[in-house]
Structure 1
Amino acid sequence: MIEMRREKRWPAKLNLEISNLFKQDHVKVENINAPIEVIDVSKAGIGFRSASVLPMGYYFNARLTLAENDSLNCVVRIIRQQKSGDDYIYGCEIVGTASIMDYVINDYAASLQK
């Protein structure tokens, strides 16, 4: 498989739950309550694992806590899905976030290299 990612991925272990998905034309899917495990993060996106089948092209709000005091609120769009055993691996593009994202990710990456 050809690597298409623009940014370096860093391992992460975060457990979140997706409760609502939405699309740009006010299409909304509510009460999903799909647990996810974030497995990697970069400046451009996140990768996660879930047992739930989630629709491609939909968005969700996420709060990523990468270090004790560093949390990011962002909007991500599901762009890739791959079956992996009983679960699915998803790739998401971060499309809406605070301008501090680069600093938080850089600090997180530096902490992993210590």
Structure 2
Amino acid sequence: MEDRRKYKRLPVNIKLKIDSLYKTGDEAIRNIDDEVIVINLSKTGIGFISKVQLPIDYYFNAKITIDEAKTFYSVLRIVRNQKINEGFIVGCEFVGLADVLSESIDEYEHEIFD
């Protein structure tokens, strides 16, 4: 099967805590308190494993720490949710990721593949 992704997925092992989700307007889901394990990262988004099913097209704020020197904050939009034995694999896209932060992901890719 041909991979049609625009950017390469990079393996990572990052913990991320999701406290609440929101949509436009006043629509929000609070007190989620789900700690997830990010399994891959690309210039356009992340993939992670969650114990709970998260609704598609909701947003959340995230602090992504690649290593001690590379940490950034972003808004993520949930675009995919797939049931697996351990919970759900969730795909999210970055919303408004600045070029400077995108460069950090490029640097990380060079570190692990060079």
Q: TM-score, normalization: structure 2?
A: 0.92
RMSD: 1.5
Q: Which residue of 2 aligns with 1:53?
A: 53
Distance in structure 2 (CA, Å) of the matches to 1:83 and 1:19:
21
- Separation in 2, partners of 1:34, 1:42: 22
1:39 aligns with 2:39: yes
Give per-residue Cα distances to partners, 1:51-86, cap 9 Å, x unaligned: 111111100001101122110100000000111113
Residue 21 (structure 2) pairs with residue 21 (structure 1)? yes
The answer for unaligned runs of 5 or more in structure 2 is: none
Match of 2:110 in 1: 110
Letter in 2 for 1:110: H
Counterpart residue number, 1:6: 6
How far residue 12 of structure 1 moved from its aligned partner, in angstroms, is 0.7
Q: CA deviation at 1:98?
A: 3.0
| Distance (whole Å) between structure 2 residues aligned to residue 5 and residue 59 of structure 1 | 22
Q: Could you tell me how far apart the structure 2 residues matched to 1:105 and 1:67 are?
A: 11
Of all paired residues, the percent bearing the same amino acid is: 39
Q: Is the contact between residue 74 and residue 98 of structure 1 (CA under 8 Å) also seen in structure 2?
A: no
Instruction: State TM-score, norm by structure 1.
Output: 0.92
Unaligned runs of 5+ in 1: none
Report how many aligned residue pairs link the two structures: 114
State the partner residue of 1:65. 65
